[in-house]
Amino acid sequence: MGDTDSNGINKIQTMTHPNPTLCEQATIREVGLRDGLQSISRILPTAQKLQWIQGAYDAGQREIEVGSFVPPRLLPQLADTEELVVFAKTLPGLKASVLVPNLRGAKRAIAAQAYSMLLPLSASHAHSLANMRRPPDEVVDDIQTIVKARDAAGSATRIEIGLSTAFGCTLQGKVEPVEVLRLVKAVIDAGVDCVGLADTVGYADPAMVKRLFELCLPVAGDKLNCGHFHDTRGLGLANVYAAMQVGIRRFDACLAGIGGCPHAPGASGNVSTEDLAHMLLSMGIATGIDFGKLMALRAQVAGWLQGENLYGTLWRAGLPKTLQAA
């Protein structure tokens, strides 16, 4: 793995995925129910969330982040997460993940037998203090504790790290790639199952995405398996494409692009599921998604969220004539 410097960090080296062509299959994890809904104040009724999960499942989605195990007083929008996990587990093959900020939340995820728990870790020191109330290294310690608790419980719940502000931070500005690399190595060493790099504030560009994934892949290997991109500056899909070119094949997205960046009022949230699904369909990459069903679900969810800012382009432009049979 190359030289190691005095801090135990592999010297900067890059690895390009051996196959320069794109993958044949990719996964879109629907995060609208968590990342999307947590950023709007309206509380979607549980019955509608259940319909959303069922609809996404019927449209072929097999990974859904259904909510977050945070105290309901902090995010009342997500207070029904347990119920959603229970329902998601009735749908064969559906991998339901939940966001978990600490050990208490992790215990709830283990008890609920969630497929996966997503633990956030900020690469930005300032963002970590603001969002997690402790520096990144303390969060890494907590992650280690959570891995041990999961293992001690004999739980099958997977532990995934969402490495946020990996491409920059609205509070701190620049985030050094070597710091991202250090944290990726730390959580891999802590025994997590997988890691994703998140452009929480929409600062990433495709060249940056390619470089950062290439930097971290030698340390994380196949465990680095998710890209989470916000479309704040119109680069969400370009960033997905750049990550795919270095072998990443799993991406977070929100139906109708709901959500947003609290630091850029009015700016759009995550890449929209339907626009990403179209890009992958157009490139001949299998996602298992039935585009017509996905668009019908988009229309239904848009109806529930009237008055909120919705994004994406496919709802208006429709599929190209060349893809309409797909």
Q: List interacting residues with its own copies (CB under 8 A).
A: 22, 168-170, 173-174, 201-203, 205-208, 231-238, 240-242, 261, 264-268, 272, 275, 278-279, 282-284, 312-314, 316-318, 320-322
SS (H, E, C) 140-196: HHHHHHHHHHHHHCCCCCEEEEEEECCCCECCCECCCHHHHHHHHHHHHHCCCCEEE
Pairing of strands 27-30, 194-199: unpaired
CB of 30 to its own copies, least distance (A): 18
- By C-beta, is 20 or 154 nearer to its own copies? 20
In angstroms, rounded to a whole number, what is the distance separating the alpha carbons of residues 143 and 75? 22
Instruction: Determine the distance from the C-alpha atom of residue 240 to the mean position of all C-alpha atoms in its chain, rounded to a whole number.
Output: 12
- By C-beta, is 55 or 312 nearer to its own copies? 312
For residue 161, which phi and psi values (nearest 5 degrees)?
-100, 130
Q: Round to the nearest angstrom and report the end-to-end CA distance of the chain.
A: 43
- Residue in 311, 201, 295 with CA at minimum distance from that of residue 257: 311
CB of 79 to its own copies, least distance (A): 31
48 close to 304: Cβ distance less than 8 angstroms: yes
- By C-beta, is 72 or 318 nearer to its own copies? 318
In angstroms, rounded to a whole number, what is the distance separating the alpha carbons of residues 68 and 10? 34
| DSSP-derived 3-state class of residue 92 | coil
Tell me if residue 261 is catalytic: yes
In angstroms, rounded to a whole number, what is the distance separating the alpha carbons of residues 120 and 197? 10
- By C-beta, is 90 or 313 nearer to its own copies? 313
Burial string for 265-283 (b: 16+ CB within 10 Å, else e) reads eebbbbbbbbbbbbbbbee
- By C-beta, is 283 or 299 nearer to its own copies? 283
CB of 11 to its own copies, least distance (A): 20
- Catalytic residue, chosen from 169, 216, 254, 261, is 261
CB of 42 to its own copies, least distance (A): 21
CB of 2 to its own copies, least distance (A): 21
CB of 36 to its own copies, least distance (A): 17
- By C-beta, is 52 or 229 nearer to its own copies? 229
CA-to-CA dists, residue 280 to 22, 253, 295, angstroms: 10, 13, 15
Instruction: Determine the distance from the C-alpha atom of residue 104 to the mean position of all C-alpha atoms in its chain, rounded to a whole number.
Output: 21
Which positions are annotated as active-site residues? 261
